[in-house]
Amino acid sequence: MDYVIRNRKKGIINIPKEGIKPLTISCSGELTMLREERFELLSPSSVAFHKPDFNIHVVAVMGFSTPVDVDLLKAKFPTTLCKHPRFSSVVEGDPCKGEELRWTRTEVDINKHIIVPKINHPAIKSPQNFVENYIHNLSKTTLDKSRPLWEVHVLNLNISDEVKGLTIFRIHHSLGDGTSLVSLLMALTRKTSDPNSLPTIPGPKIRDDSKNNRKWLLFRWIFALWMILKLVWNTSMDILMFIATTLFLKDNSPFKGSPNGSSAPRRVVYKSFSLDDMKLVKNAVGATINDVALGITQAGLSRYLSRNCVNEGNSHEDARKKTNKFLNNIRLRSVLLVNIRPSGGLQDLADMMEKDAEVKWGNALGYMLLPFNLGLHDDPLDYVRSAKKTVDKKKHSLEAIYTFFMAEIVMKFFGSKVASGISDRINANTTIAFSNLAGPMEEIGFYGLPMTFLAPSSYGQPHPVMINFLSYSNKMTIVLAVDEHAVPDPHQLCDDIVDSLKLIKDVVIAKALVKEPAQHL
């Protein structure tokens, strides 16, 4: 530490002296302690999440096969989660007064962050409906900015034979992107088969080029050149579409949100189904799990919207043609927020909380526009093939990196109001927020509590429909967060998406494209 001598006429003089805390010498000669400030400015992406019309809160529902031990959480959080800088900091500063928003470290009162509501168990006819209504009411409120922007709600209810209790994490989106926050929660878990080991998260496959030799060198160079040209073309087209969307190109989606926009409460529903069924379809088409997730979503949306459209044809075929025309004329797109900053793995996050190690963290978000191709297909597999084609184009595009750096440039030269205006235009002209995350490959425990499912979502976003997928062990969970003005029956939409997977899987088996796993026989 230094001696800090503060003189109104001569400024500040630092005199090194190890072990001495900063002191202030006033003009009267009195000595007072200086409070050591620890703060960090919010990134532009994090600042955006504090706008009144973009005040996004992440909600993660965790189900357990046993009741949740509240005392256990109160004992564990201070030595793990609360050691994360973002989870032990408050947001200070007022942009209206020209002040920059900053993270300032503070003491965490754990009793204010763990909420256990009183539940009248005999009066609850449907525990699942109780949870849905609880989250719906929660989405009408925001976190208290006088303390760190996170909290955990504990509901010990017999939801089903497998779920005896659950927690609802509510975290402000400015603390991190969705992937990083889910990864952080996973870093607090351990395998049930090995309580000392972190869960295994599937990663991208690394291609082995060791068998390549000089004979194929020319073809590799030609392929590389082709991929570069493809990258330039896809990026150019995506940038033009992004600019058009900013200026004038709107979705003509039937999903119209309420006049309250982003402040409208959200109805969150979720459903788990077999991950093996998705793998079966994936192998049949030569796709990825992400392709299948997008494919069944396109199929489910088509079923849901075609059920609600009016047909006045003289025959079934005529009605089908009119429905298909209606669906094909819909422009429906999702905004994907992509964190272009590499984040640490689970071990890095665990070390950060347990050993105060450093790890990369924060929002460095770029935008991607993902179109949904709706219609009625004779072959249900065409939904997945169409999704694969769309995703492959996005994989060979620099759209997210371009939009991130353009946002930085606009922020620097034109200010936050212009950058915010562009963001608002993109969100206003699109309809859906969509994501697919890879979760643990094996069963895990949260501080020893055996977890049965994890359902992440959010509210406060301007999009009336949000669709999330998350895998866990041998299950996939789909989570919908909707403005009920746009989707009055979210359970039906959720069922349509899950039923679409079953229909596609049945076609795969009927055509003998792959053999069905033994557990499905």
SS3 470: strand
Token look-up 């991190």 returns 176
Summary count for the chain: helices (H), strands (E): 13, 20
Q: Angle at which helices 217-247 and 416-428 pack, to 10 degrees? A: 100
Secondary element (H or E) of residue 327: helix 316-328
What lies within 8 Å, CB to CB, of 405 at 6+ separation is: none
Long-range contacts of 258-265 (CB under 8 A, 24+ apart): 258/464, 258/483, 258/484, 258/485, 258/486, 261/53, 261/462, 262/53, 262/54, 262/55, 262/460, 262/461, 262/462, 263/53, 263/460, 264/464, 264/483, 264/485, 265/136, 265/137, 265/139, 265/140, 265/459, 265/483
SS3 88: helix
Q: Is there a catalytic annotation at residue 377?
A: no
- Pairing relationship of beta strands 165-172 and 150-155 according to DSSP bridges: antiparallel
Token look-up 């973009």 returns 54
Residue 499's alpha-carbon distances to 454, 493, 496, in angstroms, are 21, 10, 5
Under 8 Å between Cβ of 476 and 353? no
Secondary element (H or E) of residue 291: helix 289-308
Supply the DSSP string of 346-376, one letter for each residue: HHHHHHHHHH------S--EEEEEEEE----
CA distance 453 to 478: 11
In the set 173, 485, 491, 520, the catalytic residue is 173
Query: What are the catalytic residues?
Result: 173
